[in-house]
Amino acid sequence: MTTSPPDLTLNPPANDALGVLTGTAPVVREGTLVTLDASAAEQLAANWDARPWPPFASDFAAMHFSDGTERTANWMLLADALNFCFWGEPDEPRWTVEWRGTTWDGYYALATALTRAMDEGVPLADATYLAELTSSHLAEILRPASGYPPIPLFEERLANAREVGRVLAARYGGQMARVIEAAGYDAGALALLLAREFSSFADIAEWNDQPVPFLKRAQICVADLHTTFGGQGWGAIRGIERLTAFADYKLPQMLRREGILVYEPELAEIIASFTPIPPGADAEVEIRAATVWAVELLRQALEHEGIQQMASAIDYRIWLESQQTPPDNVPYHRTRTIYY
């Protein structure tokens, strides 16, 4: 493990209510497959200091259904319950959606498919409808553009959508807004509540017989609600700054390109050959833990440069850049999972 300079530390904060930084720190310190290069994090932070911070993309926001009501909160919960695993097999096309004359893949395709469905009158904000969602109805909602394959892990997405409907209907009057209220409009409490109430959001791995929480989709749902409502109403959620990076497969790809994540040759070869890594394998847990801490080191390095940015904002910047990766870029790791 590369030793961090004095101003960059792997010490979790005392108020780590989510437990993500605390749970991932031992993996980063003791792991053998992934190394963090803190000096590379400092260099990237310095480079960013000289470039404008990207605003939230207007076209990205336009893909999200939003009417300012409780229906928007329900739609956002559903979107994040289905927000995982969009990659295709090597040399095969990805699941792609056509909407308003434009084709989209990845998360963009999911957001547009769900917004398209709302435009078509599908009651996706109705918990009872979701609880009884049929396979054929979901297939129609997520229908690909002509000539493209169906979305991966379809059955898992169907199960997640039904769970959203069942839990909301049975415990929260059919409304995600009641979940936000139950969490006291607190970011950490809301992410943890989502993980407790919805099994599909319980993104907790195990490493050396210890739990390692990542809570990727739970945290991103909290951030999405805050952004969608502009920090007002159902989005008036406190403590957004305590969220961590949303550990997925695109962030580590970009962090590795910047030299912040360094893989041992055996792991690099697995990824270069597009060999799948099983969910919960040591390699997968190490990659995700290092991703969380790479973003935390970037946050600390930016702070050292006089730039105050939350981990979620750093995450978004890296993710945006990942959408324009060159064709010769190093590949991302491949794990079929519902968590990212």
DSSP H or E stretch at residue 88: none
Q: So which residues are the catalytic ones?
A: 248
Nearest to 291 by CA among 28, 42, 106: 28
DSSP H or E stretch at residue 211: strand 210-213
| Alpha-helical regions (H) of the chain | 20-30, 38-49, 58-62, 70-81, 106-119, 127-131, 135-141, 154-171, 176-182, 187-197, 216-228, 250-257, 265-272, 282-304, 311-322
Backbone angles phi, psi at 36, to 5 degrees: -95, 130
Nearest to 299 by CA among 2, 7, 25, 6: 7
Enumerate the β-bridge partners of residue 263.
34
Q: How many CB atoms lie within 10 A of CB 104?
A: 19
Nearest to 219 by CA among 235, 197, 195: 195
Backbone angles phi, psi at 34, to 5 degrees: -130, 135
One-letter amino acid at 264 equals: E
Backbone angles phi, psi at 12, to 5 degrees: -65, 150
